Chain A
Amino acid sequence: MQRYSIFSLIKNAFGGHKDWEVAWKDSEPKKEYDVVIIGAGGHGLATAYYLAKEHKITNIAVLEKGWLGGGNVGRNTTILRSNYMFDPNGLFYEHGMKMWENLSQELNYNVMYSPRGIINLAHSDAQLNVFYRRGNSMRLNGIDAVMLGRDELKKMIPFADFSESARFPIFGGLMQPRGGTARHDAVAWGYARQINSMGVDIIQHCEVTGFDVQNGKIQGVQTSKGNIKTKKVGLCVAGNTSLLAEKLNMKLPIESHVLQACVSEPVKPFLDHVVTFGAGHFYCSQSDKGEMVMGGDLDGYNSYAQRGNLPTLQHVLTEGVAMFPNLSRLKILRTWGGIMDMSMDGSPIIDKTHIDGVYLNCGWCYGGFKATPVSGWTFAHTIAKDEVHELSSKYRLNRFNTGHLIDEKGLGTKTWIG
C-alpha cells in the first residue's frame, strides 16, 4: 500500500495526481471466509481492522447491502466525547477517545480529529448541580471535565443568547475539552483502505438474506451474491439489526427510529466548539467548510425510512434559535435522516448470541460514531476469542433479564418523554 505523506503528496503533485493508488478495491465474494462481518459502516470496518491487526485474522469478508459508509457513519453529526457519568460508559468511551487521538497516525489517513471541546449548557441551578456531579464522576474515571461559568462562556460562545430576557438563561456549562469532531467519511475510508491492504474483502451491494445454522452453530450466510461459508459472523448493521436478528429467531430490546440532522449554508468561523442546548435536545458545531451541523430529537415513531419529517426538524431548529438567535438568519442547505437502533436503556449491546459463532454489535442509539474505534476493538476481541471483552462486559444482552441496565439518562427508546 502506498503510504500517504507530505513526500507522496509532493511527488504526486508533480505527476498531476494521476498515479495515486486506488484507496480500496471492491471484491466479489469467495466461497468461504474465517469471519464474515455484515455491514461496511464504521463499526463493521473497524471490527475487521482490529481482527486483522490485533488478532491476525485476515480471511474476512465485510458485506454491505448498499455502499461503503452509506449508512449511519455517513449520516451522523461527527461528534466525539466520553462525558458519561456511569463507569461502564465512561471507561468504554474514554478508551475510545484515546484511540481517536492517534487514529489518523494509526490509519495513515487524516480523520481530521478536532478536539475543539464539547460544551453542555445548563439553564438552571439544578441542572448545573447535575453537571457538577457528572463532571466529578468523569474526573474520577480520568476523563477531562471542566465547569464553566457564565462569564467564561460569554467569551467562548459570544453568539449564544446571554440576554436577561432569554427563555432559558445560561447558568453555566460542563465542558470536555478533548471532545470534538472527526471527519466521518474519512473514518470509513481510512479503515477500508487499511483492511483492504491486509487482504480483507469489501463486498458492496451484497445483502444478507439468510443464515445457515445447524445444531446451534453458524455454517454460513446466504446473500444476494450467493452463499458464503463461515464459522463466525459479526452483525454491525445499526438500524436493521432487528430484521437480521429475526432471521436468527432472536427478538431484541431494540426499536428502529429515524434521527434527522441538517447543515446550514456555509458561513465564516462562528462557533469554535460543539455546543449542546440544555433545555431541550439540540446540538451544533461548525464544519471546516463553515456549515453549521445541527441535530436533535428523534422523529418519535418506529421508522426504517432514511428520511424524516418536518415537525421534528422545526422543533429542533426552534431550540437552536433559542440558543443562538442569529441562526435564524441562516438557510438550511441539506437535511437527512439515519435509522438508529434505539435500545431500551439507551446503551449499546456487544455480545455473543445463543447461536455459536454469531456475534452482535448493536443498540448504539444516538452515539455510535464516537464509539467506532473502541466498538470495533472490543467486538473484534469478542469474535476472535469467543469471549466478551472486559471493557464491553457491561453491554451484554442479558442485562435486560438481570436488571443491570445502564440507563445513563433514564430515557430508552422514547426519549421525547423524558
Chain B
Amino acid sequence: MLEIKCPHCGSRSQNEFSYGGDSSVKRPELGKEVPDKDWDDFIYFRNNPRGKHSELWHHVAGCRQWFKVLRDTSTHEIFKTAKLTEEL
C-alpha cells in the first residue's frame, strides 16, 4: 500500500487517490496555430523513466485536488509531493 502525502490533507492511503500520469505534459496554448506534432506530443507521448518520475495524482476520495508527486518507478518510494502551483 502506498502512503501518499496530499499537500492539502496530509498522509493518506493509496485507496483515496487516482493517478494522472506524467506531470511535465503541457497543453498547447489556446488561440494559437498549433502544429500537429505538438498535439501528438501532448496527447500520446509521455516520459517513462525507470527511477524518479514527476507525476500527477488526484485526491479523488478526499479534497479532490490534483497535485504533484516525485516517485521512484522501480522502488515505488515517494520523495516529495507539492501543490500544482509549487515546484517539486
Q: Contact between B50 and A243 (Cβ–Cβ < 8 Å)? A: yes
Partner of B1 from A251, A310, A413 at Cβ < 8 Å: A310
Q: Are B73 and A309 in contact (CB under 8 A)?
A: no
Question: CB-defined interface of A236-277 with B at 8 Å, one 1/0 digit per residue?
Answer: 000010110000000111111000000000000000000000
Question: Which residue of chain B has its CB nearest to the CB of A245?
Answer: B48
| A-B contacts besides A243-B50, A344-B44, 15 pairs, CB < 8 Å | A242-B49, A243-B48, A243-B49, A251-B45, A253-B44, A253-B45, A253-B46, A254-B48, A255-B22, A256-B73, A302-B22, A302-B55, A303-B74, A303-B76, A344-B43
Is B73 touching A300 in the complex (CB atoms < 8 A)? no
> Can you name the residue of chain B whose Cβ is closest to the Cβ of A251?
B45
Interface residues of B in 13-59 (CB under 8 A from A): 13-15, 18-19, 21-22, 36-37, 40, 43-46, 48-50, 53, 55
What is the CA–CA distance of A163 and B15 in the complex, to the nearest angstrom? 30
Q: Known contacts A255-B46, A309-B14; is A301 also within 8 Å of B55 by CB?
A: yes
Q: Taking the nearest CB of chain A, how far is it from the CB of B37, in angstroms?
A: 7
Does A305 have its Cβ within 8 Å of any Cβ on chain B?
yes
A67 in contact (CB, < 8 A): no
Rounded to whole Å, the gap between the CB of A227 and the closest CB of chain B is: 23
Q: Return chain B residues, CB-CB under 8 Å to A255.
A: 21-22, 46, 48
Q: Which of A280-329 contact B (CB under 8 A)?
A: 300-305, 309-311
Q: Which residue of A lies closest to B20 (CB)?
A: A414
Given A302-B21, A414-B21, verify A400-B76 contact (CB < 8 Å). Answer: no
What CA separation (Å) do A310 and B13 show in the bound complex? Answer: 12
Which chain B residue lies CB-closest to A301? Answer: B19
Interface flag for B2 (CB, 8 Å): yes
Shortest distance between the CB of B57 and any CB in chain A (Å): 8
Give the complex CA separation of A413 and B1 in angstroms. Answer: 21
CB pair B14–A401 under 8 Å, yes or no, is no
Number of interface residues, chain B, beta carbon within 8 A = 26
Count of chain A residues with a beta carbon within 8 Å of a chain B beta carbon: 24
A255 to B18 alpha-carbon distance, docked (Å) = 16
- Cα–Cα distance between A400 and B40 once the two chains are bound (Å): 7
Residue of A nearest to B50 (CB): A304
Q: Is B73 a contact of A303 with CB atoms below 8 Å?
A: yes
Considering the complex, give the chain A residue whose CB is closest to the CB of B48.
Answer: A242
Q: How far is the CB of A405 from chain B (nearest CB, A)?
A: 9
Of the A-B pairs whose beta carbons lie under 8 Å apart in the complex, a sample of 22, sorted by A's number, is A242-B48, A243-B50, A252-B48, A253-B44, A253-B45, A255-B21, A255-B22, A255-B46, A256-B50, A302-B48, A303-B73, A304-B50, A305-B74, A310-B1, A311-B1, A311-B14, A311-B15, A400-B45, A401-B36, A401-B37, A414-B21, A416-B18
Asked if B1 and A304 sit within 8 Å, CB to CB, the answer is no
B75 within 8 A of A: yes
Instruction: Give Cα distance in the complex from A109 to B46, angstroms.
Output: 41
Report the bound CA distance from A255 to B48 in whole Å: 6
CB within 8 Å for A400 and B44 given contacts A311-B1, A413-B21: yes
A302 near B53: Cβ-Cβ < 8 Å: yes
CB distance from A78 to the nearest CB of B (A): 27
Cβ–Cβ contact B1 & A309, under 8 A: yes
Q: Which residues of B contact A251 (CB under 8 A)?
A: 45
CB distance from A31 to the nearest CB of B (A): 30
Contacts of A302 in B (CB 8 A): 21-22, 48, 53, 55, 73
Q: Mark A375-417, 1 if CB is under 8 A from B, else 0.
A: 0000000000000000000000000110000000000011010
A385 to chain B, nearest CB (A): 28
| Interface contact A305-B48, CB-CB below 8 Å | no
Q: How far is the CA of A256 from the CA of B74 in the complex (A)?
A: 11
The smallest C-beta distance from A134 to any residue of chain B, in angstroms, reads 26
**A302 to B43 alpha-carbon distance, docked (Å):** 17
Question: Looking across the interface, which residue of chain B has its beta carbon closest to that of A298?
Answer: B19
Measured between beta carbons, the chain A residues less than 8 angstroms from B22 are 255, 302
Structural contact, B76 and A305, CB atoms closer than 8 A = yes
Cα–Cα, bound, A240→B22 (Å): 17
Instruction: Tell me the bound Cα distance from A414 to B19 in angstroms.
Output: 8
Q: Which residues of A contact B71 (CB under 8 A)?
A: 301
- Contact between B2 and A309 (Cβ–Cβ < 8 Å)? yes
The verdict on A304 contacting B44 (CB below 8 Å), with A255-B21, A401-B36 known, is no
Asked whether, in the complex, the Cβ of B74 is within 8 Å of the Cβ of A304, the reply is yes
Q: Which of chain B's residues have a CB closer than 8 A to the CB of A243?
A: 48-50
Nearest-neighbour CB distance to chain A for B15, whole angstroms, equals 6
Measured between beta carbons, the chain B residues less than 8 angstroms from A309 are 1-2, 14, 76
